[in-house]
């Protein structure tokens, strides 16, 4: 495993982002991504992104949400963070997440707070201001199998 470092953020190329978002939105509508199951969410992202031919791996490390750091696991797609388990784009959710990290709320409250936010509020390349991912790969890059 490599040393933890800041994980890439920024927009994915428009065509890749549009396809990835569309499939992940469908997945989320069928079975929501939950903050209580980040491994399962990352695994689903790996499957979807890999099927689209994108480079994927899982990273583990810390997620700083402005004064509170969560030990976390997320997917990295084409060297960009894809974390669909937490709607970090929603400031009210980040407040609940900080309280959860501090031990003031049970996991059930975190899950309930996340249920109010669609996939559009999840991290797909662009990390909201005030949040920072630091981690290292725990699963090697994969490519979708070539079929022909």
Q: Where are the domains of the chain?
A: 5-137
Write the CA distances from 7 to 25, 100, 118, 135, integer angstroms.
23, 23, 24, 6
The mean predicted confidence, pLDDT, of the chain is 87
- CA 46 – CA 108 distance, rounded (Å): 26
Instruction: Grade residue 143 by pLDDT with cuts at 50, 70 and 90.
Output: very low
Q: pLDDT digit string (tens) for 63-122? A: 999 888 999 999 999 889 999 999 999 999 999 999 999 999 999 999 999 998 999 999
Is pLDDT larger for residue 70 or for residue 3? Answer: 70
pTM: 0.85
Q: What is the pLDDT of residue 32?
A: 95
């Amino acid at each position: 495993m490599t040393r933890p470092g800041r994980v890439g953020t920024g927009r994915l190329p428009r065509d890749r982002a549009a396809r990835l978002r569309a499939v992940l939105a469908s997945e989320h509508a069928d079975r929501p991504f939950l903050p209580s199951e980040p491994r399962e969410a990352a695994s689903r992202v790996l499957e979807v992104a890999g099927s689209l031919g994108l480079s994927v791996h899982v990273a583990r490390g810390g997620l700083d949400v402005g004064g509170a750091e969560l030990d976390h696991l997320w997917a990295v797609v084409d060297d960009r963070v894809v974390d669909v388990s937490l709607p970090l784009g929603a400031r009210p959710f980040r407040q609940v997440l900080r309280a959860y990290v501090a031990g003031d709320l049970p996991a059930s409250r975190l899950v309930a707070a996340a249920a109010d936010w669609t996939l559009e509020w999840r991290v797909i390349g662009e990390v909201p201001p005030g949040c920072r991912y630091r981690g290292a790969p725990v699963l090697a890059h994969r490519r979708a199998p070539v079929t022909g």
